Amino acid sequence: MIIGVPKEIKNSENRVGLVPAGVMALVQAGHRVLVERSAGLGSGITDEEYTRAGAEIVDSHEEVYGRADMVVKVKEPLPAEYPLFREGQILFTYLHLAADAPLTKCLVEKGVVAIAYETVTAPDGSLPLLTPMSEVAGRMAVQIGARLLEKHSGGAGLLLGGVPGVPPASVVIVGGGVVGTNAAKIAVGMGARVTILDISAERLRYLDDVFQGRVETLMSNTYNLADAVKGADLLIGAVLIPGARAPRLVTEEMIKAMKPGSVVVDVAIDQGGCIATIDRVTTHAEPTYIKHGVVHYSVANIPGAVPRTSTFALTNVTLPYILEVANKGYLRAIQDNPCLAAGVNVIDGKVTCKGVAEAVGIPFYDLREVL
C-alpha cells in the first residue's frame, strides 16, 4: 500500500501524521510512504530524517493525495483539500464530522473510506486514539486559562494559585473524563480551588478517590452547574459524547452571571462546543474574544501549540492501527478489529456513525449491513 502524509494546512497546526519510526515500520512491512516536503518541520522532524527511515519526499499536497492509497493526517481536511479526494481512498485522521456537515457530505459524495481517530473504541469503551490529545488539551487548558486571567490578556488579574493571605482562583471543570481529569491535575498542582462536574456518580467517586479530596466533585445538573459557573474564575468545557455533537450545557445566562474578567476555555469546540457563548472557532493566531465581559478561548487544535509532544504522543497510539489497515487492507482490517470498525464514519458513500448522521441530517447505515 502507498501511505501519504501531507503537510497540515490548518492555522498554526504543526503536528504531522507519522514520525520517522512509523515510516520505518511501514517500509519494513513492505509499504511505500510519501511525505510532503517540510511536513514534519513544525514538530522538529526534518525531511532527511524521513528519507533515512525510507520515505519518499514529494513536493505537493496534490501529489500526496494523487498517489496515496491511504492518507494519514492529524486534523480534518479543509475545503482546499476536498477536490483531492478520490473514490476508495482511505482517510485516517481526526475528523469531528458531527460539527462539520460540508466535510461529511464531501466524503460521502467522493466515496472516501473515512476512519476517525476520535471514534476508534476499545472494548472497555475508552478512545485510545483520542486519549493522548485529550491529555495534552486538558493540561494545556489550565495553563492557557492561567495566562488569560492575567490583566494584560483581558482577565481579572488573578494568579491561579493565589499566595499566602490571598485566596486562589476557582477553576470549574465541566466533564470528568480524560480532558477534565488532566485539567484538574494541573489546576490542583498550581494551587487552584478546583470543582469537577459530571453526570456519573461512579466517575465522581473515582475522581474523589484519585485526588484524595483535593477537588470538589458535583453531580452535573442545571442547578449545580449554574451555581458553580457563577463563582468560577476559570471555566473549562470538557464534555464529550463520542462521535456526536457536544451538548450545550452552559447557557448564555450562566456566562452572563460570571464575574468580569473571568475566562472560558472550551476544549469541546472540536465537537461543536459545550458552552453557548462559544459561537465561533478561534485560532492560535487570534485565540480569544470577549463576550459579556468574559474572555472566551475556543481554539480547535489546542495540542497544535505543542506539536513536538503532541505528534509523538499521537503517533505512539495510531501506528498499530495504520499498520493493520496497510497490511490487511481496510475491509479485512475493520472486519477483524471491532475497535477499528468503530472508527469508520463514512464508507461506500454512507455514514456509519450514528452521532454524525444525526448531527448533520444524513441517513445512518449500520456498518455491518454496508459491509
Q: Please give the sequence-ordered ranges of beta strands (E in DSSP) within 175-279, or none if there are none.
A: 193-198, 216-219, 234-237, 263-266
Query: What nine digits make up the cell of 300?
Result: 480547535
Number of CB atoms found within 10 A of residue 284's CB: 16
**CA gap 66, 178 in Å, rounded:** 37
Q: Residue 134 in 3-state DSSP? A: helix
Give the DSSP H/E element, type plus range, for residue 26. helix 20-28
| Distance of alpha carbon 32 from alpha carbon 23, whole angstroms | 9
Question: Active site residue: 31, 233, 270, 296, which one?
Answer: 270
CA distance 65 to 70: 8
CA distance 56 to 64: 10
Respond yes or no: is residue 152 known to be catalytic.
no
Query: In angstroms, what CA-CA distances link 80 with 68, 83, 106, 128, 166?
Result: 17, 7, 12, 29, 51
Name 205's bridge partners.
none
* List 96, 100, 198, 296, catalytic entry: 96
Query: What contacts 213, CB < 8 A, 6 or more positions away?
Result: none
* Cα gap 132→312, rounded to integer Å: 10
Q: What are phi and psi of 25, to 5 degrees?
A: -65, -40
Cα distance between the two ends of the chain: 21
Please indicate whether residue 96 is annotated as part of the active site. yes
Tell me how far the alpha carbon of residue 297 is from its chain's centroid.
15
Cβ proximity of 177 and 242 under 8 Å:
no
Strand order in the sheet with 32-36: 56-58, 32-36, 2-5, 70-72, 90-93, 113-116, 344-347, 350-351
Task: Name the residues annotated as catalytic.
Answer: 96, 270
